[in-house]
Amino acid sequence: MNGLKPLGAIRASTAMLLCCAMLLLGGAAGYTIRGTQQVQIQPPPEETAQEAPAQPEQEPQAEQVSQMGEQTVSPDAKVLWRYHMACGHVVEREDAQPAIGKTKAELEAAYGVDSVSSFGNAAVVMELESPLCCPDHYLLKLEEGVLTVRKTGDDLQEEILLTLDVTLPPDAAAECEQGLCFDSLEDINVYLEGLDS
């Protein structure tokens, strides 16, 4: 087999077992000796011990911001955007994201001096003029010689619905360059038919 006699194999395995046992006992003894040492940590003397500072009650985030200096819009604020549309309607949208962390002066600089009608940490009202018609109306617009019918979506983005191949008289072309609002596509059709007569 491996060249050892059966009696030698027993002696070799016994020797190996004794070596392993001594190694384990040595490790355990070393751990026991080190493990019995105790370290005592003394608390500081009474006169040097400081009392923990009292924790103030948690204030709302808006009040914390106002205490730092100039008042800014809180992340929890209600920001109402009132868009005065070209058709005469007012469309309101609530969205705090563009105003968070801004002061009244920063909002006025970004959107116009008269844009902030109400300002506070928890509520802001913005008043903006829009050249678009509200989502309830259609816009007939002549731009670069192309007559289009447009509609404003709920996201207040204007979309071109139709491109018309119509020749307009000069006075109607001037009106359409400014943009004309209509209640329906039928009203646009009636307007264009009236130009032909």
What is the helix, strand, coil percentage profile of the chain, to 5?
Answer: 35, 25, 40
CA distances from 128 to 108, 119, 159, 184 (A): 11, 15, 20, 25
Does the structure show a pLDDT above 50 at 69?
Answer: yes
Which residues is 138 bridged to in the sheet? 151, 182
What percent of the chain is modeled with pLDDT above 90?
A: 53
Tell me the per-residue pLDDT of 19-28, one tens digit each, with 9 for 90 and over.
666 777 766 5
First to last CA, the chain: 119
Q: What is the pLDDT of residue 195?
A: 84
Q: pTM for the complete prediction?
A: 0.58
What percent of the chain is modeled with pLDDT above 70?
A: 69
Specify whether the backbone of 112 is left (phi greater than 0), alpha (psi in -120 to 50) or beta.
left
**Low-confidence winner among 43-47, 78-82, 105-109, 141-145 (lowest mean pLDDT):** 43-47
Residues of the chain with CATH 3.10.20: 69-129
- Quick one: pLDDT band at residue 9, thresholds 50, 70, 90? low
- Quick one: pLDDT band at residue 46, thresholds 50, 70, 90? low
Q: What is the pLDDT of residue 80?
A: 95
For 72, counting Cβ atoms within 10 Å of its Cβ (0-12 exposed, 13-18 middle, 19+ buried), the class is buried
104 CB-near residues (< 8 Å, 6+ apart): 71, 116, 119
Across the chain, mean pLDDT equals 80
Does the structure show a pLDDT above 60 at 64?
Answer: no
Q: Measured between alpha carbons, how far is 82 from 73 in angstroms, rounded to an integer?
A: 17
Average pLDDT for 116-133 = 92
DSSP-derived pairing of the beta strands 123-129 and 78-84:
parallel
∠ Cα 130 131 137 (to 5°): 95
Q: Measured between alpha carbons, how far is 107 from 98 in angstroms, rounded to an integer?
A: 9
Please identify, in words, the CATH class of the domain defined by 69-129. alpha beta
